[in-house]
Structure 1
Amino acid sequence: MLNPEETEAQFEQRWWELMNQMRERFGKKPDLNALLLLIGVQELGQGAGPFTKEQKQDLMHIATCKLFSLSGYYELETVDADGWPHYRLVRPVPFANLKEQERMLKWHMLEYFDLEDAEG
């Protein structure tokens, strides 16, 4: 869907490798929400918390915006006085069923962690 040259098997292999890396790093395999929270915390750059339930929801929103900014759907608009990033929608994310949404999210997560590895 997002990379027409990548087969489903290649995509699943990359996802499996990322999950193994996360398991090694954190001692357990995270679900998509845990990965969104992790990405949000990384993007905020203020450490691991503690965060309220509302702040965790905001962190997951930051992560989603950051991930979809990789393919031009969002862009960073500003960072507020408390250091929280705010994104604006540039173009609508295409409608997709639940399975397609999950695959898009996973693909963006793979790209995010690939970029993080390349930079860091």
Structure 2
Amino acid sequence: MPIKPNTRSVRAAAALTGNLMLAPAVIAMRMPMLTAEANSSNPYRVETTRAVTEKMSAMVEGALAAQMAFAQAAIQFWPEVWSGRTPALLSGVAADRAMRAALLPSGRAVKSNHRRLSRVK
């Protein structure tokens, strides 16, 4: 019998998807700024540096969150077996949690970039 997802997880997945769908808009808003920085003689390229560092930090944070989700599932493996439940590592629940945990920092970064870049100056 398939497990029916609860409303909170569906809502969280929809919010994450909505945040990640803002990525093309963020790219479109950021490209003129990156082009202007590439054509200038100013050695301090603020937007370029910000773009690179936030992507790297979101990737590292997401990888760590995914590994923590798998570690938590590994710790819970035997207690789940002993209680008669299917372990999250075998049912795919751990992979789903790890994937969502890995994408969450990227979604937050994209949402904050969209908010920052779409402000009228």
TM-score, length-scaled by structure 1: 0.32
Q: Which has the higher contact order (CA 8 A, sep 6+)?
A: 2
- Between Structure 1 and Structure 2, the one with more helix by share is 2
- Between Structure 1 and Structure 2, the one with more strand by share is 1
Please tell me whether Structure 1 or Structure 2 has the larger radius of gyration of its CA atoms: 2
